[in-house]
Structure 1
Amino acid sequence: MMSSSRRSFMAAGLVVVLAVAALIFGAPGPVPLSAGSSMSDRGAADTAEAPPKSSWAGRQFRDMTLDEKIAQLFVVRIDGEFQNANTPSYRETVALVEEFGAGGLIFGPGTPMTQIAMANDLQAKAERPLLVAQDTEWGVGMRIDAATSFPPAMAIGATRDASHAYRVGYATAREARALGVHQLYAPVADVNNNPKNPIINVRSFGESPSLVGTMASAFTRGAQRGGTLATVKHFPGHGDTDVDSHINLPVLRFDRSRLDSLELPPFRQAFDAGVRSVMTGHLALPEIAADSVPATLSRPLTHGLLREELGFDGLVVTDALNMQAVTRTFGVGETAVRVLEAGADLVLMSTNPHAAHQAVRQAVTSGRIDTTEINDSVRRLLRVKQDLRLHETRRVSLDTTRHRVAQRSHEVLARTVARESLTLLANADSLLPLTPPEQHDALVVTLSDSEYPGTGDTFVDRLRAQPAIETLDTRRLDPRSDSTDVNDHLADAADYDVVVVPSFLRVQAWSGSIGLSDMHHDFLEDLAGTDTPVAFVAFGNPYAPTGLEPAPDAILAAYGSGEASQRAAAQALGGGAGTPGRLPVTIPGVAEKGEGRRLAPVAPREGPPESVGMDGAQLARLDTLLRSAMLDGAFPGAAVAVGRGPALARLDAYGYHTYDETKPVQTGTQYDLASLTKVVATTTAVMKLYEADSLELDAPVARYLPDFAQNGKEAVTVRQLLTHSSGLKPYLDPDERGPTRAALLDTLMAQPLTYTPGTRSTYSGLNAIALMRIVETISGRPFDAFCRTHIFEPLGMDQTGFYDTDVTRAWVAPTTDTAGTRRRGSVHDPMARDMDGVSGNAGLFSTAADLARFGYMLTHEGRIDGRQFLEPKTIETFTAQADVPGSTRALGWDTKSAEGYSSAGDEFSAASFGHTGYTGTSFWVDPAEDLFFVLLTNRVYPDDTADRITQVRPRAADIVHRAIDGPPRPLLPGPAPEQ
């Protein structure tokens, strides 16, 4: 038999192992708090029965006086902002914890490190561990700066995806525990069926009891799996009110059958999911409870309905007792007595805990409150603290906080929910999305209920970056604005192609209303009556467009007003995000519950790697590789784009234009593409003519260029030019090219063959120049004009084009030619320079951002911006390896070598195609993974002797490909259940 000391040693070892595992694997607590079970007794229902006397909870209960028991039921508020230890407010809180003996804290707004420092300090001062709570309906960021803010509940409801609710609950719990919080005052189970509700609104998952119940239950399971108590609120249902209970008492005049059919089902589902805590609401139901007092103070509703009839025996916490729905009628002491009489366990935010305690003590002494009920409440509370193992570890490591709060995966989740919630309610004349080739001069008029000047900045910045927005100007109407501002903005609107009106209407306690002001409403109606198209985006309150006559041309509901929602809405306006959401409420006169016009994403959007099945940490190794290469003198700077599926997983810039480090590279810095010109411009132009039946691949070049038939070239085909198997030599020496473009072309036409066409492949710039001339001859247009009109403008590549020579352009990364001449905007390639900068073999300048759009088109079967730019069959034809002996060439493109060196590295699949450029550029596509990778450098500055690019290219490609750890997310979610 094992000795007691041996058992103690092994138990201690197990605790250490669990603690280490928690730090390594990120568990939010020693053991997850599973829904429907306690942490100390899995599968056993939580009851108010006396805990075993040998347990920590049992020993604490046995040793507590009546005064200590009463004090344990009080939850006191403290802000998480920095407070000096000697400030009166902090000293008062310390006294409530240390001397008064409060059993719980609720943290208000603050910052992560300050909150955890104060939580740890107060836990150390408390005789018994504190149960710490916080409002976290849309994540810990609801209260804590820099923590993750998720879109609100109604956004999750709009996705119809319960897994989002579960994951948001879990992520919220992870961050909460890392900040010393154990009890989440979430989720909201109120059914918001009243469009005029000023205080619930987007805090609710919707107006369908089934949808609300499904989402609230999923959130509950996630939150409790993450190690916290979920608190479902506001019992018995705060959705059908037009009164803010912070200001006055909502009175709900409906009968029990209505309560059973609408308000109670979500709470029942949450109980079935094992929710451990319920918050009662300040709501009177005179038709059901004859006492006509708020449910928080009503024994028929709290004890009778919640506890006895519905069988809930977890913790019951009141809504805040500083709200006027209760303070208008009852004093501090009477309020505390009544909530405990009603059946609550925790007295939240009493305005005077000492007076309230005294009143409760007197009520117990007089027999008004049965001592048994106080004991039951204390037992429930102690049992929860024990289940959370607060008696073992009540403080949190600062290192844990730093690693868990605002995790990248949580940001990805927030952005995903925001995108998938977007609900398009109107889209007259297909106004949205705003995509190339059309270019819009846009005016944004922000409607805000706040005077804060930064409201909507993220939306404006992201909208400005959309390719179809030529110019963007901003105005705002907020509480400081007047009729002069309104008239000025209406007059300004006539000068723009489109006016975008985002409204920021937040649910604000104590405000008593939520909706467009009369000024905002009238402005929108007057604006919608003009000839300028209007796109209205509702951030926050989705009911905002109610009653607008005429209505805006496009109406988009984004539900949240945080950065994730603003980013998603801007992407949707530019086609980078779809509108898969379905309205979870009815907006009178605008749309019914369940409606939503689905637009698929049609253009690339920037998004975290994890959103498209890539490992961000692995992809970040690009940073190390490129910075190391710059230090080794491989190139002074670089820009990259990594796209997969619907998103740009990486669009970034490194280093400087030159080694003097004066001008940083940006994602919009233009690079000389060199031979990437052959695929981006020349091959793509040929593909367009091929699709138009204006060019045949197996036709002799001489059909289009009769002069080409000289010196035995009459049988050379267009296909052989594309596969570099034409028999032409690689390049023209300077003395062969002649003094003019025309002379160079004449020399090209007169070139003899150097080998029998089709027998092998020898890379040649002459092939691309001949192809360029075919394009010009067939189209009757200069090559640069054809490319601009038929390629770059339709693709929204407005920073891509050819430059004439001998002009300096500061935004271009410089190169240096073989003669030592520094060039910034004039082409590096001598033969292209002799062609006045416009050639089929080189001469194109572009950016990583523009080439990302080109890559998106290639990985989306030739579609972008909702238009078919190239047919999928055309792309397949031109990127398949050609039947040329010993060659990896496709038509214009190269393919990955089966063995030996490849600039695509080892990981890109055999189906990959791409090309490189002499100046240090490369572009590779792996269609098997919906992946493309762009690398732009000016490795030929300050000279072209550095050849380290040959090692950098494959290593970079391998880093990118190895970042793949799952499939890219589908463009639109599957069918949603009808709710």
Structure 2
Amino acid sequence: METFGGLSLRQKVAQMLIYRMNMRFLSSSSKKWKEIQSLLETDGIGGVHIWYGDVGTSLTLLNKMQKYSDIPILVDADIEHGLYQRFPEGTELPPFMALAATDDPDLAYAAGKIVATEGRSVGIHWNFAPVVDVNNNPRNPIINTRSFGEDPDQVSIYGKAYIRGLQDHGMLATAKHFPGHGDTEKDSHSSMAQIPSDALRLWSVEINPFINAISSDVDAVMVSHVHAPDYQFNADLPATLSKFWVSNILKDSLGFKGVVVTDAMSMGGITNNYSDSYGLIAAVNAGCDFIIQNGDFKGSIDVIEQAVLDSIIPEERIDESVLKILRMKEKIGLNGNRFIEMKDAQGSLKDSSFQITANRMAAKALTLVKNETKFFPLELKKREKLYIIDIYDHKNDHSESITTKALRELGANVHSFQLDESDKKYVSSSILKEIPKESTVIVNAFVSPSSYKNRITLSKNQEKFIQSLAKKSEKILLNSYGTPYLIENFPMVDNYICSWKGNRIMQNAFVRALTGRENISGKLPITIPGVAERNFGIPIRKKPIWFTQEPAHESGKKLKWVMPAEAGADVTALDLLLDEAIADSAWPGNVLLAAKDGQVFYHEANGYHTYSHQRRMSPSDIFDLASISKAVST
């Protein structure tokens, strides 16, 4: 390859490193841009990882970076559940477990298509997805709903469909997190996670979906900071740094010929146990091709270059990776055109057909697990109060949910409360007191996988609140906008639905189903211990019985304040007449509001409330008819 032959050692090393950044405005004089420009003009940048951004900045900044770069830059992002995850202009999608709950692999393909089409239009070439971890541990704090489920065959089917959806529409796909992150109880963002060491179990469960992804020609495999101490050589070494896992198993045994990318080297699974230099050198020697470096791009080049010069890393190992990376860039078409145009984004983002498909995914994903009091569809008596509590697994969030607002707009007599992790026991106790016995109650629990949190449960205070609430009423629905395992701690709750994620499309789907306007047909892709088996789901036929609550009064025409001339009124003599009336003792004071056709053109106050002149009139004062009868009649 001609490009490869002209690269220096430093430039080759730079091709193996991924620079992390946001697509936010950067002035030409900013420290960040000067760093980027310097790298592009010297060693180069192999790949760019986008955290967040917007379309306008992406179009200008990425094009500018591509223009400065001798070799096209490969741009990646974690967009597991839609471009909206990183760009506000993108389409929102359900998480992977929700897609599996639809029992329709074609929807996984459609998700890949939407992500690829929108992502490519804003300059993203490579998606760090799908997650093909088998989530068979309810206590896994970081994978959970990001997985397609607990069955390796089902994970494989949906993973392969998603991969095809990406690739058929021009985006590179990644199977992650090798050799499996599903049966762990630690988050590798915080510390190294351990997976089972039984060989039969590893190959039949954890590794199985990766075998299937490789057979589908997945472009890349992401290696994780996990270890199986009783199975692997060097028991304490994470797979990211392990030649046993990367070269012996992934490349040799599984025959993977694509690009091996590390998970972020800034995660606790690496930084808590190894220095930056050790981690970089070990990852390269293990066989990793692309490295999501720790934030010091130039320093990372220095470390790897010096290791090659000191014969710690063979230069052939570098060459092998760089050739793979250059072929990957060629495959995606970067040698022909590396630039993006606004018309591409305008023609792709939030396409109406994408939104229709996303809504269909969300509707089919809803999975009803318990409906013992026939909560679905919800029937409320006229004026019956509906108590809704939004519970958040993080601090400082008392926002009213989309669900709560939507039900109020539909006419429900909603009384809402919010509870988050920062709230003390007296807050939950006061909410409990305000809800009468046998009330109709919906608890929306927002508990989703989150980096560095190291658990996926509600706080003890929040759990006790729900348990106490269930004692007051059987007519309570627990709605999980996140982990499906939430019900394990609340066996006394009679009604439970998995809504999978608290984003807009899932909340809207729940409201439609609750009010009888959508069928419920989802099936669990996992087992909820002691509650329900995999593939369980209670089907509900739609039955639109929802009512619009009668308003307490008919609203009149909304008043609007205008200048007198705009209403065709002449008020020049009005103040004088009112002052004369007060002087003649017709009344001690007055407030006059004059309006025509909904237009208020005069609103003034004169005089006092009584003849003793102790309290002046205010425009906000109002009087009943008895107060003005004498003045009017005389």
**Is 1:572 equivalent to 2:318 in the alignment?**
no
- Once the two structures are superposed, the pairs formed by residues 154-173 of structure 1 within 5 Å of their partners are 154-173=97-116
State the shift of 1:404 in Å: 1.2
- Opposite residue 443 of structure 2, the aligned amino acid is V
Q: Tell me the SS of whatever aligns to 2:339.
A: coil
Q: 1:147 to 1:581 in 2, by over 3 A?
A: same
Q: Which of residues 147, 155, 169 in structure 1 aligns to 2:90?
A: 147
Q: Which of residues 203, 228, 252 in structure 2 aligns to 1:260?
A: 203
Between 220-229 and 571-580, report the one with greater CA deviation.
571-580
Residue equivalent to 1:217: 160
Residue equivalent to 1:955: none
Q: Which of residues 276, 281, 296 in structure 2 aligns to 1:352?
A: 296
**Is 1:82 equivalent to 2:25 in the alignment?**
yes
**Is 1:373 equivalent to 2:317 in the alignment?**
yes
Q: 1:368 to 1:349 in 2, by over 3 A?
A: closer
Structure 1 contact 442–496 (Cα < 8 Å) conserved? no
State the shift of 1:354 in Å: 2.3
Q: Tell me the SS of whatever aligns to 1:546.
A: helix
RMSD, matched Cα: 2.0
Structure 1 contact 466–571 (Cα < 8 Å) conserved? no
User: Tell me, which stretches of 5 or more residues in structure 2 are unaligned?
Assistant: 559-634
Q: 1:414 to 1:439 in 2, by over 3 A?
A: farther
Which digits, 9 at most, give the CA deviation of each residue in 1:851-899, with x for residues without a partner?
xxxxxxxxxxxxxxxxxxxxxxxxxxxxxxxxxxxxxxxxxxxxxxxxx
- Once the two structures are superposed, the pairs formed by residues 616-765 of structure 1 within 5 Å of their partners are none
State the shift of 1:811 in Å: 7.4
Structure 1 contact 336–350 (Cα < 8 Å) conserved? no
> Partners in 1 of 2:240 and 2:461 — Cα distance?
38
Which digits, 9 at most, give the CA deviation of each residue in 1:203-242, with x for residues without a partner?
0011110111111100000001110100110001000001
> Partners in 1 of 2:93 and 2:534 — Cα distance?
23
Structure 2 contact 80–130 (Cα < 8 Å) conserved? yes
Residue equivalent to 2:504: 563
Residue equivalent to 2:225: 282
Residue equivalent to 1:516: 458
> Partners in 2 of 1:303 and 1:795 — Cα distance?
60
- Opposite residue 565 of structure 1, the aligned amino acid is M
Q: Tell me the SS of whatever aligns to 2:170.
A: coil
- Opposite residue 472 of structure 2, the aligned amino acid is T
State the shift of 1:809 in Å: 6.4
Q: Which of residues 70, 91, 97 in structure 1 aligns to 2:34?
A: 91
**Is 1:526 equivalent to 2:272 in the alignment?**
no
Structure 1 contact 499–534 (Cα < 8 Å) conserved? yes
Residue equivalent to 2:556: 810
> Partners in 2 of 1:218 and 1:344 — Cα distance?
26
Residue equivalent to 2:525: 584
Q: Tell me the SS of whatever aligns to 1:529.
A: helix
- Once the two structures are superposed, the pairs formed by residues 316-327 of structure 1 within 5 Å of their partners are 316-327=260-271
Residue equivalent to 2:586: none
> Partners in 1 of 2:334 and 2:313 — Cα distance?
29
State the shift of 1:112 in Å: 2.0
Q: Tell me the SS of whatever aligns to 1:380.
A: helix
> Partners in 2 of 1:274 and 1:347 — Cα distance?
21
Which digits, 9 at most, give the CA deviation of each residue in 1:580-600, with x for residues without a partner?
101111122222211111111
> Partners in 2 of 1:230 and 1:71 — Cα distance?
22
> Partners in 2 of 1:299 and 1:386 — Cα distance?
28
State the shift of 1:795 in Å: 7.8
**Is 1:432 equivalent to 2:376 in the alignment?**
yes
Structure 2 contact 438–475 (Cα < 8 Å) conserved? no
Q: 1:88 to 1:600 in 2, by over 3 A?
A: same
Q: 1:397 to 1:135 in 2, by over 3 A?
A: same
- Opposite residue 59 of structure 1, the aligned amino acid is E
What is the percent sequence identity of the aligned residues?
31
Q: 1:532 to 1:795 in 2, by over 3 A?
A: closer
Q: Tell me the SS of whatever aligns to 1:128.
A: coil
Q: Tell me the SS of whatever aligns to 1:79.
A: strand
- Opposite residue 296 of structure 2, the aligned amino acid is N
Which digits, 9 at most, give the CA deviation of each residue in 1:894-939, with x for residues without a partner?
xxxxxxxxxxxxxxxxxxxxxxxxxxxxxxxxxxxxxxxxxxxxxx
> Partners in 1 of 2:528 and 2:504 — Cα distance?
24
Q: 1:425 to 1:214 in 2, by over 3 A?
A: same
**Is 1:544 equivalent to 2:486 in the alignment?**
yes
Which digits, 9 at most, give the CA deviation of each residue in 1:239-266, with x for residues without a partner?
0001010111012242221111111111
Q: Tell me the SS of whatever aligns to 1:429.
A: coil
Q: 1:90 to 1:600 in 2, by over 3 A?
A: farther
Structure 1 contact 547–589 (Cα < 8 Å) conserved? no
**Is 1:307 equivalent to 2:251 in the alignment?**
yes
State the shift of 1:497 in Å: 3.3
State the shift of 1:466 in Å: 4.0
Q: Tell me the SS of whatever aligns to 1:543.
A: helix
Q: 1:203 to 1:797 in 2, by over 3 A?
A: closer
Between 536-545 and 212-221, report the one with greater CA deviation.
536-545
Q: 1:795 to 1:563 in 2, by over 3 A?
A: closer
Q: Tell me the SS of whatever aligns to 2:51.
A: strand
Residue equivalent to 1:333: 277
Q: 1:98 to 1:460 in 2, by over 3 A?
A: farther
> Partners in 1 of 2:176 and 2:247 — Cα distance?
16
Which digits, 9 at most, give the CA deviation of each residue in 1:609-663, with x for residues without a partner?
xxxxxxxxxxxxxxxxxxxxxxxxxxxxxxxxxxxxxxxxxxxxxxxxxxxxxxx
Higher RCO, 1 vs 2 (CA within 8 Å, ≥6 residues apart): 2
**Is 1:450 equivalent to 2:450 in the alignment?**
no
> Partners in 2 of 1:401 and 1:156 — Cα distance?
26
- Opposite residue 403 of structure 2, the aligned amino acid is F
> Partners in 2 of 1:326 and 1:453 — Cα distance?
32
Q: 1:384 to 1:454 in 2, by over 3 A?
A: farther
Structure 1 contact 247–510 (Cα < 8 Å) conserved? yes
Taking structure 1 as the reference length, what is the TM-score of the superposition?
Answer: 0.55
State the shift of 1:341 in Å: 0.7
Structure 1 contact 441–496 (Cα < 8 Å) conserved? no
Residue equivalent to 2:581: none
Q: Which of residues 186, 190, 208 in structure 1 aligns to 2:129?
A: 186
**Is 1:65 equivalent to 2:8 in the alignment?**
yes
Q: Tell me the SS of whatever aligns to 1:393.
A: coil
- Opposite residue 67 of structure 1, the aligned amino acid is R
User: Tell me, which stretches of 5 or more residues in structure 1 are unaligned?
Assistant: 1-57, 604-793, 801-806, 813-979
Higher-Rg structure is: 1
Which digits, 9 at most, give the CA deviation of each residue in 1:655-712, with x for residues without a partner?
xxxxxxxxxxxxxxxxxxxxxxxxxxxxxxxxxxxxxxxxxxxxxxxxxxxxxxxxxx
Structure 1 contact 463–573 (Cα < 8 Å) conserved? no
State the shift of 1:72 in Å: 0.6
Q: Which of residues 210, 215, 231 in structure 2 aligns to 1:272?
A: 215
Q: Which of residues 497, 505, 521 in structure 1 aligns to 2:439?
A: 497
Residue equivalent to 2:572: none
Structure 1 contact 443–493 (Cα < 8 Å) conserved? yes
> Partners in 2 of 1:364 and 1:808 — Cα distance?
81
State the shift of 1:350 in Å: 2.5
Q: Which of residues 465, 479, 487 in structure 1 aligns to 2:421?
A: 479
Residue equivalent to 2:612: none
Q: Which of residues 403, 408, 413 in structure 1 aligns to 2:357?
A: 413
State the shift of 1:438 in Å: 6.3
Residue equivalent to 2:68: 125
> Partners in 2 of 1:454 and 1:150 — Cα distance?
24
> Partners in 2 of 1:200 and 1:67 — Cα distance?
36
Taking structure 2 as the reference length, what is the TM-score of the superposition?
Answer: 0.84
State the shift of 1:366 in Å: 3.0
**Is 1:593 equivalent to 2:593 in the alignment?**
no
State the shift of 1:472 in Å: 0.4
Structure 1 contact 299–343 (Cα < 8 Å) conserved? yes
